[in-house]
Amino acid sequence: MTSIFSRIIAREIPADIVFESDRIIAFRDIAPQAPVHLLVVPKTESYANVVELAAGDPALMAEMVHTAHALAAEHANGDFRLIFNTGEEAGQTVFHVHAHVLAGGLAEGSLGRG
């Protein structure tokens, strides 16, 4: 099944794309929870969540972290929160692994998204 993120990668639906490489794309979350809220997404939809990704392709996961940091430096001061919702009960709605990058004026002490 084609995920909504694969449709963004294929340019079938629009997104505000901020970064793209051969293996990764990043775009603004449509419902931002912070001044900067980006999604960093591997182009492959082989991995449903970060646990599968870490087991299957740790180098790709490291590339996502590197991309998250670079984007946080470009769009804010370089500090960021990296969130992988994993499983429905944790709030995951798209089962194509993605990292939420939150940055820019985050609430002090908050661990959540709201």
Contact stretch for ligand AMP (CB under 6 A) within 17-25, 27-35, 63-71, 74-82? 27-35
Assess 6 for contact with ligand AMP (CB under 6 A).
no
Contact call for residue 3 and ligand AMP (CB under 6 A): no
The footprint of ligand AMP on this chain (CB under 6 A) covers a number of residues equal to 13
Q: Nearest CA to 37 among 83, 70, 4, 5? A: 83
Question: Which of 17, 30, 65, 73: binder of ligand AMP (CB under 6 A)?
Answer: 30
Which of 9, 24, 29, 67 binds ligand AMP (CB under 6 A)? It is 29
Helices and strands (H, E) in the chain, number of each type = 3, 5
| Distance from C-alpha of 24 to C-alpha of 5, rounded to nearest angstrom | 11
Q: Which of residues 43-102 bind ligand AMP (CB under 6 A)?
A: 85, 91-94
Active site residues: 98
Decide: helix, strand or coil at residue 33.
Answer: coil
Q: And the tokens for 112? A: 């959540």
Residue recorded with tokens 């995951």: 92
